[in-house]
Amino acid sequence: MLPHAATETVLSPLYFLRMRLFTLFLFIFSPLWSGYNASSRQYSTMELQGVDVSHYQKQIEWDTVVYKHALDFAFVKATEGHDYRDSMFCSNWTSLRRLGVRRGAYHFFRAYGCGYEQAINFLKTVDMKPGDIAPVLDIERTDGIPEEIMREEAHIWLQLVESHLGIKPIIYTNQFFYERYLAGHFEQYPLWIARYSDERPFLTTGKRWDIWQHSNEGCLDGISEKVDLNIFPGNTDMLDKLCWFPASVNAETETAP
């Protein structure tokens, strides 16, 4: 036993040195592992995190949300059909601008309604500012209307909003609805796709999505109800390409010294 004890005494300083180096390694590299969520899915540094909300989330404490979470963008429900305005839109829209969070507004499309009237409802409700994300048309049900008519009225909404603002709106839908009713008909518009999974959506048409709603079970400080979670696969400069910058603002930027 003595020879073993003597050997242990000699090796102790080396042992403690190794433990200190290992602890230092964990301290330095632990931030690299903080990108994993509860389901062990790793978020890339080239992804932006966002939410989308409506009156269903009730009164949101946006200051708390922004302080506690990395929030890069947020979409807010503005209107639905030809005359409905979300009761929380103004509060959410104003708070996001005050806090400097990139914001976007969406319209919930009703297939039984006139596309023109629905577009006017949205345009009268939403006061767009330079840098806001392009308007979104949320289209995810036929409301019992023939799909051809649904698509025709949706086209009217999209074309009117684009002609008024000078930017292509974004289409939001779930993957099943897209494949069944929209694929091949709206390929020129940016796409925000809902698919609740750890696996990224793959569309049979080969079209690339621009935003992915990957969960409707988000729990965030400052929001009392479950909230939808979204990913934009890029950085802020890339997100700018989906944002509204009026011609007058662009002209001022180009002529600035």
The whole-angstrom separation of Cα 124 and Cα 90 is 13
Show the DSSP H helices in the chain as ranges: 2-29, 62-68, 89-98, 115-125, 147-165, 175-177, 236-239, 247-255
Q: How far apart are the C-alpha atoms of 219 and 228, rounded to whole Å?
A: 9
State the pLDDT at residue 255.
43
How many CA atoms lie less than 13 Å away from 175 in the CB half-sphere?
19
Is 140 part of the annotated catalytic residue set? yes
What average pLDDT does range 48-72 have in this prediction? 94
- Whether 52 sits among the annotated catalytic residues: the reply is yes
Q: Which residue has the higher pLDDT, 2 or 12?
A: 12
Choosing from 47, 140, 152, 162, the catalytic residue is 140
For position 2, what pLDDT does the model report?
A: 32
pLDDT grade for 66, boundaries at 50, 70 and 90: very high
Domain 37-255 class? alpha beta
Residue 86 has pLDDT above 90, yes or no: yes
What's the mean pLDDT when you consider all of the chain?
83
In this prediction, residue 38 carries a pLDDT of: 30
Q: What is the pTM of this model?
A: 0.79
pLDDT tens across 15-42, in order? Answer: 444 545 544 443 443 333 233 233 334 4
What is the average per-residue pLDDT within 66-94?
96
* Structure tokens belonging to residue 81: 């059909």
Does residue 168 contact residue 135 with C-beta atoms inside 8 Å?
A: no
